[in-house]
Structure 1
């Protein structure tokens, strides 16, 4: 009886072991296909080249577009009446230099008339920013597949070159309308380049063992963000230095800053030389190549929740930064040197704090979602602080504390935002997730800048909206099941194999 049952059980055991071998062989062939295309672990030169590009490009969306270009546009505006008298009537006789009053009024006064509508220099920049994002949609959709192929480095080089080109003639044509295509093409270039830059991180991390990917990606992203903040500090200090020139020379001195920014951005193309031409194209992704290829992300609801968190965090950080700068200049009327201190505090503290966060993250065993929640909590603290004490007399020490807290929150949100999105990217489809990340982040920054620009000086509005956005972002990350341990990327191998564990058992 026992012998008969043993004989009957043998065929099922054999079939089961054979099915396991089939799955194993398919897994190994699939993995070897991707390992061969992705390449070996990145060398020191490739990693530092990736850091270099972040240093040379991070300031484009944090300083060049939201700070420098509105200042250049404001130099072309003619104020209809004496701004000093009008400013003193609205600020209860607060003493401020005439140059600061003229600068703030030129930025916030709606002096640009188009088809019966009036816009300020800040609002004009927002329109150009939104135009660039609109143009980027079909281009990002087209390159979402080609990012996974051997064209990735070419896409980075071409998009960066386009952005650099439009930085150079910023002050050549003294007309406001020309800044729409200027800023739009710079926005297009930096969005595409940011997507390609993020995609290269995904491929570098994929070359490591699976147990190391999260640790390596967060470490790379934190260090790159700190170097990017250093680049932003240099450009903001250069802007402040050039604004000290005489009023009639400000247009040309700011033009020099734009040229210098373009040249620094161009140096980042060296990253293309140091980067290994990695690719994650497979026969599976070739079969799925259609005009609706970017829509594949909708099969991953947790990734959509992560992208929504990126949008809210970008909106929050830019709304707080723009609203704070306008409040400091227009309401507090502090010494110009203290504005420089605020900029340097905001951009230099992450240079020290972000690298120190990595060992703390490992100690706490915190994933990317939890680190983003920490960043949003810091943003809630700073925006709530500004909202509650908006009518108090701020000293420059309070401003530095505010800038320090928000700078850490902003750096954490940027560094772990891309890491969180990449954790949901299946092998062979990283390009789709990266283009979505690049566009969503830029859209959040644009909307945050627009909200703060429409209500300049009304810090209660901008900080209140930022506080609510940060709160919603925390709710999304907490209840959107955004957890790397449950990431769908872990099961993408089975999906591509076409044979999952259930099928193997049935065999």
Structure 2
């Protein structure tokens, strides 16, 4: 009976039942449109805050963006209509993107008091820990979503409201980050005339940073395309038991909780920089997507699904953890905010596009995994031949212009 209900949920997600101006969209495609809307709204806002992230307003930006996200977690399910979903999703995406940029900037400030030779080690450690704990939160939410999907149809909005409120409460804990944040800001030599909407264009003076951002975009696209395509394939084609779907989610989100902190000593042993760790993550994604592409028409057993989820979860965690570290390694002193907003938006855009590609072809795992495999391969080529390396002359020529900010370049607010 539960399997039949899950089949109905799958059909409701993938069937194009939403008609707008003569065009039909599925619920997944409608979500992609709302996601893209949120990213579009975020562009002028991120352009404006890119300068102010380097000032005393950094903690305020974090608090406001988190509060907006928490606030928009409350209406879903309260109003008995689905029309609210477009602004609901759009503002959630907006708040997430801004908050992600602010938290990334805070990572740069956290390592500013360390010596230049230790910044990469410390930033990698912090980023791995943050990613692993984020996976714990995702596992908790996935358990709530599983129970929401098991409820009767007439309780859909009610259960969605419960899950959204709980998500908002967890997100609201992030405001405590503002209280515990380092009361420090980096000095910027930019004149008042440059505090314009074109301030983010400063990143184009750093071509290697652009290559790193392109690698972040491809890795985000790859991981989301694989995850979304795999979930739709498992539910729609393999028709597994609902409880097994929960086990898959828990496997995907809980394995990084253990594996990512253990990767840090291995990284130090291999003396691997963030670019090399990104390549390792892309190789793991190529392995999982290639496995799914080659055996798409085979009978997947439960063990195959768990192995697939375990490999891809580690690859996804590595790509996320070292993506922001790689981008920040090119951030000059006083302009970290520019690099952070670019990272936040580019990563969100990659996730959105990956979700869209997998949603357009639901259940066709060969297509989504094939595209993800090619994207991961291109990402490796970019990282290898784009001279993306933390020991670069571009930032080295500016003294302490990389992630390790000189303590003399920072002042207390």
TM-score with structure 2 setting the length: 0.95
Alpha-carbon distance, 1:289 to partner: 3.2
Partner of 1:173: 79
Q: Which digits, 9 at most, give the CA deviation of each residue in 1:212-262, with x for residues without a partner? A: 100000000001100000000000011112222223223211221011101
Alpha-carbon distance, 1:286 to partner: 5.2
CA contact (8 A) 2:185 2:411 kept: no
- Greater shift in the superposed pair: 491-500 or 150-159: 491-500
Separation of aligned partners in 2, 1:220 and 1:162: 26
Alpha-carbon distance, 1:393 to partner: 0.7
Q: Which has the larger radius of gyration?
A: 1
Partner of 1:379: 285
Q: Which digits, 9 at most, give the CA deviation of each residue in 1:412-454, with x for residues without a partner? A: 0000000000000000000000000000000000000000000
CA contact (8 A) 2:225 2:358 kept: yes
Unaligned runs of 5+ in 2: none
Partner of 2:183: 277
Cα 1:114–1:490 change in 2 (3 A) is same
CA contact (8 A) 1:132 1:187 kept: yes
CA contact (8 A) 1:107 1:120 kept: yes
Q: Which digits, 9 at most, give the CA deviation of each residue in 1:97-116, with x for residues without a partner? A: 32122101000000011111
CA contact (8 A) 2:213 2:346 kept: yes
Unaligned runs of 5+ in 1: 1-96
Partner of 2:136: 230
Cα 1:323–1:496 change in 2 (3 A) is closer
Alpha-carbon distance, 1:128 to partner: 0.2
CA contact (8 A) 2:111 2:404 kept: no
More contact order relative to length (CA 8 Å, sep ≥ 6): 2
Cα 1:500–1:243 change in 2 (3 A) is closer
Alpha-carbon distance, 1:396 to partner: 1.1
Aligned length, in residue pairs: 411
CA contact (8 A) 2:185 2:412 kept: no
Asked if 1:138 is matched to 2:36, the reply is no
Q: Which digits, 9 at most, give the CA deviation of each residue in 1:171-223, with x for residues without a partner? A: 12333332111110110000000000000001111221101100000000001
Separation of aligned partners in 1, 2:56 and 2:98: 16
User: SS state of the match for residue 237, structure 2?
Assistant: helix
CA contact (8 A) 1:136 1:191 kept: yes
Partner of 2:33: 127
Partner of 2:269: 363
CA contact (8 A) 2:114 2:404 kept: no
Q: Which of 488, 491, 496 is equivalent to 2:402?
A: 496
Q: Which digits, 9 at most, give the CA deviation of each residue in 1:52-73, with x for residues without a partner? A: xxxxxxxxxxxxxxxxxxxxxx
Q: Which of 350, 354, 363 is equivalent to 1:457?
A: 363
Cα 1:395–1:455 change in 2 (3 A) is same
Cα 1:389–1:288 change in 2 (3 A) is same
Alpha-carbon distance, 1:497 to partner: 18
- C-alpha root-mean-square deviation of aligned residues, in Å? 4.3
TM-score with structure 1 setting the length: 0.78
Cα 1:261–1:501 change in 2 (3 A) is closer
